[in-house]
Chains A and B, each alone.
Chain A
């Protein structure tokens, strides 16, 4: 632990990267993500589609973890906030001829506004009550999207203009990889700032934080609004990628997927979800396509994994990785493998 806290242990290259919240391994992962579409065989359209969706979920887990891992509020309406962004963006594009990029930003702003209202009311409550209220808000938003048929066309679905002209998945893939990077950067810079210190204090021990003069409600709301805004932007991307919107994208079961991946990856790590999302999502796609007679089996696997993680590995993959590093003897290896623990 002491070893990790000491920044001198980092190699000069890592230290430079640490300034921009990156690590050698993180950089390697990013390069891997950028190179994947160039590998022949992998770049078949259906695999690229899976990868794009996996990357979308990875970006979602970063934002989800930003609230769940740091201020300890599980946002059960996460996908509903994504959906608000998605609907806002696509309606602006359809009705007023906005550019999809502008629409995505507007969707993020609306989602952030909804998040602000929700947050001001719910985040004064205890942790799980707040979680449940965000769930109710999510259900209410889904009900609204189903019922406001003159706007959203309800269950029959809204067809949305695509982000790019080409039908290939590659441009979408690169967009969302950049999206992952931006989300990660924003979240880790915030976590590293003075505000991030307050987030961590609230998440670990609210009484102590309050005694030290941290206003929990204020910081919780700020965190929640930031996360909702980013979620809205991502939702806009999803709408313009898939091309059709139904109220089902606001459904809780999709939030459950994000939740499961995020906790399997490791709470409070930000990168754990990204690491877990790729293999899990692709594995689940394989399971789903190979056992189509058993609908819901992939969700069941998520449930089992979530329970196992909760009981036996509460820190998820990230915590296992950190404890592995602490056992390493070779100092060179430690220098390279030590990731910037976002907490430091």
Chain B
């Protein structure tokens, strides 16, 4: 029984995934001689961030059939909110005896960013997608996708016009020097980012699997008509999905604000990488998105480390193209074609 299940999983994920994982592992081990542990920390923190963003993208895609092109802009909103909440406390950080407020401020920034992202998600659903859903007859996937393209342009340029194009950054959230973990020095901010994203992912998973509302969201993603028949309030679920996914991206932006200072096009990289992840693992697959996020983070970090910083658009694209030659529906995707095929 167990063997049969294992064979099934093997068939599903395919040999490509395993080969790729082995290659990645070999690369990481090979790099371990000099800077391996630091790269590993980079991969984990980038992967945590990316999994938050990509999970939201995959969720929106699975439930609402929207290819969200403006997802990185939600990340940008997160960094912006974090900047405005956390920067007033920056002077406190550099005093000798930081109070409790210094530890509280980053938490506040992350929570505020999540809340703002949530509200923006609700607004986007109510103002844009609901009218579109009422009016559009066919070709929903393409129309909604282009709508989000327009939304992305507006948010990026709105940021530029209102807040200016300069970098709005804080150097660090938490006081204190690097923490020694098994001989690797990790900055407390990075550690906090990893912990926060783990907590958020666990919270998200609990919400999706244990609560009634989460079950309803999953039901809608499986079959819209069926869930309508059992009395699920579709508009509510759509709004909630959009809000959660935007909130997740904003939380990722706020936690990583020390790495990504807020400027208008800061969302480009998260959008680009999270789309990468979603294409790599196949559509609407939130669990797969989490695994894929770490793979893409690995690609990116290794490229920046060994090839050079400008090449991180080129090498991962080439790799993903290679994978798609062998498995066009993504490494966790099934060959079954779905309604978003057009």
Contacts and interface: CB of A to CB of B under 8 A. Distances in A.
A147 B150 contact: no
A140 B317 contact: yes
Contacts of B283: 126, 129
Nearest to A121: B321
Interface string B306-342: 0010111110011011001100110000000000111
B128 interface: yes
8 contacts: A140-B313, A140-B317, A140-B318, A295-B160, A297-B161, A306-B149, A307-B128, A312-B135
B150 A144 contact: no
Given A140-B317, A296-B161, A303-B154, A127 B279 contact: no
A224 to B, nearest CB: 15
A191 interface: no
Contacts of A140: 313-314, 317-318
B275 interface: yes
A126 B340 contact: yes
The SS class assigned to the A binding surface is: helix
Interface string A74-117: 10000000000000000000000000000000000000000000
B166 interface: no
B314 A311 contact: no
Contacts of B151: 303, 307
Given A74-B146, A140-B314, A143-B311, A127 B141 contact: yes
B158 interface: yes
B34 interface: no
Interface stretch (A130-138, A228-236, A280-288): A130-138
Interface stretch (A35-43, A163-171, A179-187, A255-263): A255-263
Interface residues of B, number: 48
The SS class assigned to the B binding surface is: helix
A74 B151 CA distance: 17
B143 interface: yes
Contact of A306 (B131, B153, B165): B153
Contacts of A253: 153
Nearest to A147: B310
B136 interface: yes
Nearest to A120: B325
Given A74-B146, A140-B313, A256 B276 contact: no
Contacts of B342: 72, 126-127, 205-206
Contact of A302 (B143, B153, B321): B153
A128 B321 contact: no
A139 interface: yes
Contacts of A44: none
A300 interface: yes
A129 B329 CA distance: 10
A131 B321 contact: no
Contact of B324 (A125, A310, A311): A125
Contact of B341 (A126, A144, A303): A126
A291 to B, nearest CB: 10
B291 interface: no
A136 B157 contact: no
B339 to A, nearest CB: 10
Contacts of B310: 143, 146-147
A310 B165 contact: no
A196 to B, nearest CB: 18
Given A121-B324, A127-B142, A143-B314, A304 B154 contact: yes
Contacts of A300: 153-154, 157-158, 161
A304 B153 CA distance: 9
A74 B153 CA distance: 16
A124 interface: yes
A136 B67 CA distance: 15
A303 B148 CA distance: 9
Given A300-B154, A306-B153, 19 more contacts: A122-B321, A127-B141, A128-B340, A129-B283, A136-B272, A136-B313, A139-B313, A142-B313, A146-B310, A259-B149, A260-B150, A295-B160, A299-B153, A302-B150, A302-B153, A303-B151, A310-B143, A310-B146, A314-B139
B84 interface: no
Interface in B122-178: 128, 131-132, 135-136, 139, 141-143, 145-147, 149-154, 156-158, 160-161, 165
B153 A136 contact: no
A122 B165 CA distance: 34
A296 B158 CA distance: 8
